[in-house]
Amino acid sequence: MSTITLDTVRKVYAGNVEAVKGVSIDIADGEFIVLVGPSGCGKSTLLRMIAGLEDITTGEVKIGDRMVNNVDPADRDIAMVFQNYALYPHMSVYNNLAYGLKNRGMDKGEIDRRVKEAARILEIGDYLDRKPRQLSGGQRQRVAMGRAIVREPAAFLFDEPLSNLDAKLRVQMRVEIKRLQRALGTTSVYVTHDQLEAMTLADRLVVLNGGNIEQIGAPIDVYDKPASTFVASFIGSPAMNLLDVKADGNGLSLAKGAGLSGANAKGKDRYTLGIRPEHMEEVAGPNGGDGLLLEAVVNVLEPVGAESYIYASLGDGGPEIVVRVSSHARHEAGEKLFLKVAPENAHYFDADTGRRID
């Protein structure tokens, strides 16, 4: 168990492609950090630099108090779980778990104790003699985790470990990974492109975009106060509605078209306005009061069970927004809606930089 410190870590590939552009993160002992972002954002590269599978171009990676930039992966005291499990196909499950320990010259009895213990925790005791190809995806995933656990490392590194599982199993394993991490208290860095996985697992989220950190914070803080339009649209499903708006003496209105009215709260003349789908409340008509009022025409109603999503155009043929409503709401295409947004639920971003304006 240990802290991990990244200090302005950069990765430049041949051909001057900068995959990671000076990232600094302090990871506390026992913390579960999730690196999340779209593909190509540098999250996997960052994880692989912590693991020692990629060279660090500049900057420092510390595990505990030790600078590990030039330390071999095997000597970094980390364990990694790969997306495709990377189990040794010709070895039994037992040997898959034991291989790393054998290479370290560990005593046979101790190896056996650790393998049995990991097998007990992960409930794979019955499969120890089988080969990986005789296991289902979920079981292989457990073996891959077991290989990490037996090492009793300072940190677990997860590289999209659930991507190859079907949806149901993914939810189940997600819960299990969280429970396991809590029980073992091992510092963990987890890479995913799935914002839901990120939200549910993380103590702190690190949202990456184009090799830069967009935001670091507890999942709910990131959700409530996204630092940029990128984070706003990436975290949360359906994504936050982002609208180009202008403001003048008469208050707020859409940059193009009608359908939005409200007071100018921030004293600028252009914004990107962000509204979460669940923060729009249906009202009977324009009735004043503070906050924003939207007028929209229903295009499609999409019931997903527990709730429904309305896709509606602002004004007459303006930008489309998504509104989350109760599953019992009944709406027809072409129906007109008045939607109210409380002032505290309106997010304002700089129209040019996309950064949040508080």
Interface contacts to other proteins, rule CB under 8 A: 51-53, 72-75, 78-80, 82-84, 86-90, 99-100, 103-104, 133, 147
User: Residue 261 belongs to what H/E stretch?
Assistant: strand 260-261
Q: Which is nearer to other proteins, 70 or 103 (CB)?
A: 103
Q: Which is nearer to other proteins, 78 or 275 (CB)?
A: 78
Q: Which is nearer to other proteins, 99 or 309 (CB)?
A: 99
Query: For residue 103, what are its two tokens?
Result: 């290479």
Q: Which is nearer to other proteins, 75 or 110 (CB)?
A: 75
Q: Which is nearer to other proteins, 145 or 323 (CB)?
A: 145
Identify whether 73 is preceded by a cis peptide bond (ω within 30 of 0): no
Query: For residue 333, what are its two tokens?
Result: 């295409």
- Residues whose CB falls within 8 Å of the CB of residue 194, separated by 6 or more in sequence, listed in order: 36, 162, 163
Q: How far is the CB of 76 from other proteins (least distance, A)?
A: 8
- Residues whose CB falls within 8 Å of the CB of residue 277, separated by 6 or more in sequence, listed in order: 238, 240, 241, 309, 321, 322, 323, 324
- Residues whose CB falls within 8 Å of the CB of residue 112, separated by 6 or more in sequence, listed in order: 98
Q: How far is the CB of 99 from other proteins (least distance, A)?
A: 5
- C-alpha angle with apex 302: 168 to 296, nearest 5 degrees? 140
Q: Which is nearer to other proteins, 73 or 343 (CB)?
A: 73
Q: How far is the CB of 300 from other proteins (least distance, A)?
A: 42
Cα–Cα dist 229/127, whole Å: 47
Q: How far is the CB of 200 from other proteins (least distance, A)?
A: 25
Identify whether 238 is preceded by a cis peptide bond (ω within 30 of 0): yes
Cα–Cα dist 295/109, whole Å: 72
Both ends of the chain: CA-CA distance in Å?
38
Per DSSP, the three-state class of 71 is coil
| Sign of the dihedral defined by the CA atoms of residues 194, 197, 199, 204, in that order | negative
The residues pairing with 69 across neighbouring beta strands, listed in sequence order, are none
Q: How far is the CB of 90 from other proteins (least distance, A)?
A: 4
Q: How far is the CB of 34 from other proteins (least distance, A)?
A: 20
What is the chain's Cα-based Rg?
25
Q: How far is the CB of 74 from other proteins (least distance, A)?
A: 4
Query: Minimal CA–CA distance to 82: which of 197, 154, 4, 163?
Result: 163
Q: Which is nearer to other proteins, 112 or 307 (CB)?
A: 112
Q: Which is nearer to other proteins, 90 or 256 (CB)?
A: 90
Q: How far is the CB of 137 from other proteins (least distance, A)?
A: 15
- For residue 290, with 0-12 CB atoms within 10 Å meaning exposed, 13-18 middle and 19 or more buried, which class applies? exposed
Q: Which is nearer to other proteins, 52 or 236 (CB)?
A: 52
Q: How far is the CB of 56 from other proteins (least distance, A)?
A: 16
